[in-house]
A and B are shown apart, each in its own frame.
Chain A
Amino acid sequence: MPAKPPLSPEQVRELARLADLPLAPGRADVITPTLAAWIDDANALSRKMSAAQHQDLVPATVFTHPLANDAEQ
């Protein structure tokens, strides 16, 4: 499989536009290396968590019905 090209500052500027984040000139060059590394790692984690054996895992941040629990007190 050919190596994918690294994340570019232009792509980061596009991401910022999607996020409605006005990046000052030069900012994309500053943050691209770190963002690229974090996205690579996040994608690796996403692949791991998409595996069939983890299909039933819910995120840690779901509602736990606190009001109902309070009513039972």
Chain B
Amino acid sequence: MARSQEELNALSLSEAARLVKRKEVSPVELVDASLSRIAAVDARLKAYISVFADEARQVAKAAEIMTMAGHDLGPLHGIPIALKDNVATKGTRTTAGSRILGDWKPAQDAAVATRLRQAGAIFVGKLNMHEFAWGGTSDNPHYGAVRNPWNTEHFPAGSSGGSGAAIAARTCYGAIGTDTGGSIRLPSAINGIVGIRPTYGRVSNRGIIPLAWSMDTAGPMTRTVEDCALMFGTIAGHDPEDPTTARVATCDYTASLDQGVRGLRVGVIPGYFFHHLQPPVLAAVKQALDTLVGLGAQIVEVEIENIHGNISAQLTIESAEPSTYHQRWLRERPDDYGADVRSLLEIGEMLLATHYLQAQRYRSLLRNEFMDAFRKVDVFICPTLPFTATKVGAMKVVIEDGIEEDMLSAIMQYTGVPSLTGLPSLNVPCGFDPNGLPIGMQIIGKPFDEATLFRAGAAYQSVTDFHTKAPTL
């Protein structure tokens, strides 16, 4: 039965993958639907920097022939996927959202790109982002400000804002983002989609332009938890050429999605998680916790003695490391940076070595406290960020009492904890504010226990429908 473009765009990644394997949908149809959707909406969204229309159609045709011949490349066979533009793709422009790399065509794929291709994925394009991933708005001075599909006057967050917008707008079935201080989780929450920051060392960073070496991760962004688990399984695992990756076994991350959360111990830190956030965000996350309790989970209140101060440590590390990476370009080509990134890179040059090392000592302290807490809980749940999407161009945000706050510090109020501790963290959509803007909750887990995050998220999505909503464009 022929499906319309709209019906094809509305499929989840998992549904599309099943239909391809059953030969009920062709990769050619999926790619055509994605490319048509991109053509229809991306002039407004600016989610893409490059679109690979011709190549994607050629690969789709080949994938179709292979399918009809009974050959299956893997879990993503024939599925249109897009990648954040700091992920190297062989022979195609990879800009990192910058003018400085505007003409760079890598000689090799990044490790995640190689693994996705090996799983059968078809790349439809490269996604817009905050310049060099150093920011949380995706207001890109070189390639245009990315817009939020739920309200194009509002931002998509960042730095993987193009990835978030592309998925929310149904232009592709999965996207790769990167997350240092929140750059997968924030656009996932703000765009009403699922995204995972993996355990540090679970996914290779080889071939990805770095922001902060000691905190960078890469992960999938999708419409559903099932999709995320499926895509995650294709990229997770040790890379002998990336010494930061861990020799820890992976698993089938989809195997336990239907096992529910009965008995799951969910940790909350009331004095931090439910403090200083917009009322609709608080209400949505508390409702989500009630939903999980209704499914058999139990809430455990925990104190993390030294959680306050994590934002300063986050900013110190996240500024000193990129400033180090960018030292040559900042001296040779300072005017080629956008204003905000240039300022952050200059600032990062002037923090002291002792500031940096004290921040790294703080990471050890915070991680020790969380690992101690994991003896009493299985996961933590909190808001992903304390506010919903602000207007494009805003550098300040009002959270409480009409007081304007700096965007960068405010946006990482909750996402900094997994970044500093190396713990995995999954954003799951959990509601909308009165203006129809998405809200997300963050599920934080033990090291290398992404399967539990997916299980909890899937259980939540089995009784809610926030992930099924789509913006009107």
Contacts and interface: CB of A to CB of B under 8 A. Distances in A.
B351 A59 contact: no
Nearest to B408: A34
A42 B351 contact: yes
Contact of A24 (B311, B334, B349, B359): B334
Interface string B311-324: 11101100100000
B313 to A, nearest CB: 6
B354 interface: yes
B309 A45 contact: yes
B312 A35 contact: no
Interface in B328-366: 330-331, 334, 343, 346-347, 349-352, 354-355, 357-365
B307 to A, nearest CB: 12
Contacts of B352: 42
Contact of A59 (B334, B343, B350, B364): B364
Of A16, A46, A66, the most chain B CB neighbours within 10 A belong to A46
A61 B359 CA distance: 10
A31 B346 contact: yes
A60 B363 contact: yes
A59 B316 contact: no
A49 B367 CA distance: 14
Contact of B316 (A12, A38, A58, A66): A38
A57 B313 CA distance: 15
Given A41-B315, A45-B313, A60-B364, A19 B343 contact: no
Interface string B353-384: 01101111111110100000000000000000
Contact of B350 (A15, A49, A50, A61): A15
A45 B359 contact: yes
A44 B309 contact: yes
A12 B350 contact: yes
A43 B67 CA distance: 60
Nearest to B215: A60
B312 A41 contact: yes
A68 interface: no
B349 A16 contact: yes
B155 to A, nearest CB: 20
Contacts of A60: 214, 360-361, 363-364, 367, 422
Contacts of B316: 38, 42, 45
Contacts of A73: 247
A52 interface: no
B243 A66 contact: yes
Residue of A35, A42, A60, A73 ringed by the most chain B CB atoms within 10 A = A60
Given A42-B312, A46-B355, A48-B309, A31 B362 contact: no
Given A21-B331, A42-B351, A45-B309, A50 B343 contact: no
Given A12-B350, A21-B331, A22-B331, A57 B359 contact: no
A33 to B, nearest CB: 10
B365 A61 contact: no
Contact of B358 (A21, A27, A31, A42): A42
B349 A49 contact: no
A60 B212 CA distance: 14
A44 B362 CA distance: 12
Contact of B347 (A31, A41, A43, A59): A31
B350 A16 contact: yes
Contacts of A66: 243
Nearest to B350: A15
B445 to A, nearest CB: 19
A59 B319 contact: no
Interface in B226-270: 243, 247
A58 B349 contact: no
A23 B346 contact: yes
A54 to B, nearest CB: 6
Interface in B387-420: 406
Contact of A19 (B306, B349, B406, B422): B349
Interface in A1-55: 12, 15-16, 19, 21-24, 27, 30-31, 34-35, 38-39, 41-46, 48-50, 54
Given A38-B316, A42-B312, 7 more contacts: A15-B350, A21-B349, A31-B347, A35-B347, A60-B367, A61-B214, A61-B360
Interface of A: 12, 15-16, 19, 21-24, 27, 30-31, 34-35, 38-39, 41-46, 48-50, 54, 57-61, 66, 69, 73
10 contacts: A16-B350, A22-B331, A31-B347, A45-B309, A45-B312, A46-B354, A50-B358, A57-B361, A58-B361, A61-B360
5 closest residue pairs by CB, A with B: A59-B360, A41-B312, A60-B363, A42-B355, A15-B350
